[in-house]
Structure 1
Amino acid sequence: MSVNVVWFRRDLRWTDHTALAHVLDDTEPADSILALFIIDPNMTSSFSRVMIIFTKHCNRLLKQGIS
């Protein structure tokens, strides 16, 4: 059993994320995937309220898509 970590740096796109595709291809049923998206205040300080809501929504979709 292993834990595979995928770091989402600037956005939460997962349909074309190369590292995630590799992890999904190589993960065994007993393995886990840990998806990381670190909210950087330097990046998000200019986000509008709509963008913050959108980012949270994408995070939920990512979680459902990997599960």
Structure 2
Amino acid sequence: MENITIGYVLHILRAILFGVAVGYSMSFFFRYFKPITENLLGGKRINVDLWWWSGIVISVILGILVMLILL
């Protein structure tokens, strides 16, 4: 009975850590993609706060989604 519980806890922990890793990597993607996006928009400046918080929200949502897929 203990092996099933330990295995289940490890499975959940692996899913959570993978979700955090995906979210963290996506946050770096959004950080370095901003200049490319501004160039594609014809040089228009994007508000830094809007870009930062939208990147964080998308990263967290994708991280949670990946975690739930692994469960």
> Do they superpose with TM above 0.5?
no
Higher RCO (CA-CA < 8 Å; seq separation 6+)? 2
| Larger fraction in strand | 1
TM-score w.r.t. length of structure 2: 0.35
| Larger fraction in helix | 2
Task: Determine which structure has more spread, i.e. the larger CA radius of gyration.
Answer: 2
